[in-house]
Amino acid sequence: MSAPLLAVENIGRRFGGFVALSGVTAQFEPGKVTSIIGPNGAGKSTFFNVLSGVLTPSSGSIRFKGQDLTGTRQHKFVHLGIARSYQITNIFPELSVHENVRVAAQASQSRYNIWRNRSQFPELSERADAALASVGLGDKYNDTAKFLAHGQQRALEIAIALVSDPEVLLLDEPTAGMGPEETKDMVALLEKLARERTILLVEHKMKMILGLSDRILVLHHGRLIADGSPRDIQTDPDVRRVYLGQNDGYA
């Protein structure tokens, strides 16, 4: 059998005496949407930071296409094909929409001279155009990023992640702060992106998670307590116990 696209084995992460993750093992197959859920403090953000290279695990290993990435610096994760968005919108507010994505394209190619004149990088502008079109922002090319609606800023951040053409896209609460209509638009975008690449998702909107995911991992106190299909997760007694009184039966 071929190796999984992304795999973690016995991942642990400590911050001093605090154990944020303990013994987490999981494999992620290509072309699937996997959601990571759990109550506040469950270890979701720490796990995402390990998966994207922001944090080095205190124990265990992470492998991408069979290559050991444990201890690898974050920028190399991007170059290898793992990109992410953040819970708090992370854009250059004073730059245009296109400039935000072009700078990211330039940075993904080289760590140096990212402010050289755009005319010297026509292929990067083309990649930026394609990324913007893929998230529905092609008509916002010259708009200043700070004037975009919140949902559009989140889509811009996804375009910034997409411009490196990652095989794995990690999205940290992409609908945070959105109302129903913006959430609906984001779900449609995620469904479109899922046809082209592997997506790992942290979210709190359970109806969205259950409808969008092929698979769900549940963390609690830094441990993986469930791993299965949405139907499996809905009926898992440990998951129901963890969420009892918090999400009112996943409403």
Mean pLDDT for the stretch of residues 85-94: 84
Question: Per CATH, the architecture of 1-81+167-251 is what?
Answer: 3-Layer(aba) Sandwich (3.40)
Q: Which two tokens stand for residue 70?
A: 């444990």
| Pairing of the two strands 168-172 and 82-84 | parallel
Residue 167 is given by DSSP the state S
Mean pLDDT for the stretch of residues 96-125: 75
How much of the chain is helix, strand and coil, in % rounded to 5?
40, 25, 35
Residue 153 has pLDDT above 90, yes or no: yes
| Pairing of the two strands 82-84 and 67-68 | unpaired
pLDDT of amino acid 249: 42
Rounded CA-CA distance 200/192 in Å is: 14
| Between 36 and 120, the higher pLDDT residue | 36
pLDDT band at 211 (very low <50, low <70, confident <90, very high): very high
CB 106 within 8 A of CB 114: yes
Mean pLDDT for the stretch of residues 1-5: 71
DSSP symbols for 113-148: -TTS-GGG-HHHHHHHHHHHHHTT-GGGTTSBGGGS
Residue 74 has pLDDT above 80, yes or no: yes
Burial of 143-154, coded b for 16+ CB within 10 Å and e otherwise, reads eebeebeebbbb
Q: What is the pTM assigned to this prediction? A: 0.88
pLDDT of amino acid 110: 53
How many residues would you count in the chain? 251
Mean pLDDT of the chain: 89
The structure tokens 């975008």 sit at 189
The per-type count for the chain, helices as H runs and strands as E runs, is: 9, 10
Residue 96 is given by DSSP the state B
Q: Where are the domains of the chain?
A: 1-81+167-251, 93-165
